Amino acid sequence: MSVPLVIKLGGRVVTDNDCLQQLFSTVTRLAALRPLVLVHGGGDQVQSLLQQLGQSSHKVDGQRITPAAHMPIVAGVLAGDINTQLCAVAQQHQLLAVGLTLAAGGTVQCSQDTSRGAVGIPSPGSAQLLESLIEQNYLPIVSSIGVSAAGERLNVNADLAAAAIAQVLHADLILLTDVPGILDQHGQLIDTIHADQAADLVASGVIKDGMVVKLQAALQAAQASRRSIAVAGWQDANALTRLAKGEAAGTRVRY
């Protein structure tokens, strides 16, 4: 089996059906090149439903604070609504999608970050389930809902979840976003970020908010796999094809 590619879906693409159709046309082409696993979150949809239900929610350093009382809502949106929607679109494109959570088959283990509530800190678990599915030409689509050793459902940042899955499979990783990659203070694409540059870019405010978590996830996966990780925009099908072939596009994060 060739090296799998883990793609984390994020941003507007998971809220807009036209965008999803565009993305899955590209995913179909990528699936012909190498095995794929898709990982997704859905923070905007969670936030929207919480507001509709009169609940408040906020983020710290790009990660959502999740009270335990919110988990039925979070799990319903991520593992229910969004995951089944992604599987439905995949089926439209003749892809054999299988919807999963991080806990399925012990793929990703999670400890609880009690300072953030019902938030999980992911670490690599077992590759057996995903490898079995990939070998049979299924497309795993994994929501970022984890489970603690005590059986508590946990909300996991999807970038960090994707990094953990990439480590499980010794896979390449692409973190998709609404912009072409990680941008500098002038809005220009940063082609390459090395591990020793990351702290300065964050401290200076060049990289901030949710992009800090993406950079953290990319560094984590790059250091574990000893290969570079890509942060790229989902809109550019040609860029995604180049990345799937191991060519340059977006921002490359190197260990």
Which amino acids are annotated catalytic? 8, 11, 43, 159, 214
Give the number of residues written for the chain: 255
Q: Which amino acid is at 41?
A: G
Question: Judging by DSSP bridges, how do beta strands 139-143 and 145-147 pair with one another?
Answer: unpaired
Establish how many alpha carbons lie within 13 A of residue 124's alpha carbon, considering only the half-sphere containing its beta carbon: 17
Q: Are 62 and 212 in contact (CB under 8 A)?
A: yes
Residue 94 has a CB neighbour count (10 Å cut-off) of: 8
Question: Judging by DSSP bridges, how do beta strands 172-177 and 139-143 pair with one another?
Answer: unpaired
Binding-site members are: 42-43, 64, 155
Rg (C-alpha) for the chain, rounded Å, is 17
Binding-site members for substrate are: 42-43, 64, 155
SS3 for 20-54, per residue? HHHHHHHHHHHHCCCCEEEEECCHHHHHHHHHHCC
